[in-house]
Amino acid sequence: MSYEQPWIGVIDAQTDSDLDRIAAAVMQAKQPLLLVGSAGICDAVARRSAIMPPPTVLAIIGSMSEIAQRQIATLHSHPRITQIYVDVEHILAGNASDYDARIVQALQKGDHCIVHTCNDSVARHQAVGSTPFASVGR
């Protein structure tokens, strides 16, 4: 549908199939259209909109801070979360393809994907303690 001048169209539908065709045409229109009518047309638009999958989020968290770890723990309770723990030494050795595949699989499944490098406080404190700066201030 493409019109130069404003216009009013009156369309009648007898079945849900008719409403679905109207909703499809309206959603493909180049100009925004205002639908006025029964709940049936709203339902048809909602059915067409529901076809689109919900967006997913990929979060890569490299921070070892306590706050970041609490945020990861909070996210873990969400029903659509896949957490992927990444061993940094494994990545530095050039073994990232397994992680790549798991990330892609999670996102294609419709899950939010949280990739992080440290999953417990003991490992986090060991990693921080082994940095070159650990001896500063001693």
Identify which of 6, 66, 15 has the alpha carbon closest to the alpha carbon of residue 43.
15
Q: What is the pLDDT of residue 135?
A: 42
Residue 116 and residue 67 share a domain: yes
User: Which residues touch 111 (CB under 8 Å, ≥6 apart)?
Assistant: 56, 80, 81, 82
* Boundary residue ending a domain (35, 52, 69): 52
Q: What is the pLDDT of residue 103?
A: 94
Decide if 136 is inside a domain: no
Residue 120 and residue 71 share a domain: yes
Q: What is the pLDDT of residue 138?
A: 44
How far apart (Å, rounded) are the C-alpha atoms in residues 30 and 26?
9
Q: Strands of 112-116's sheet, edge to edge?
A: 58-61, 112-116, 81-85
Q: What is the pLDDT of residue 102?
A: 94
Residue 65 and residue 89 share a domain: yes
Domain count for the chain, please give it. 2
Q: What is the pLDDT of residue 120?
A: 58
Q: What is the pLDDT of residue 46?
A: 86
Residues of the chain with pLDDT under 50: 124, 128-138
- pTM for this model (two decimals): 0.52
User: Please, what is the end-to-end C-alpha distance for the chain in angstroms?
Assistant: 75
Residue 121 and residue 62 share a domain: yes
Tell me the residue range of the domain where 4 lies. Answer: 1-52
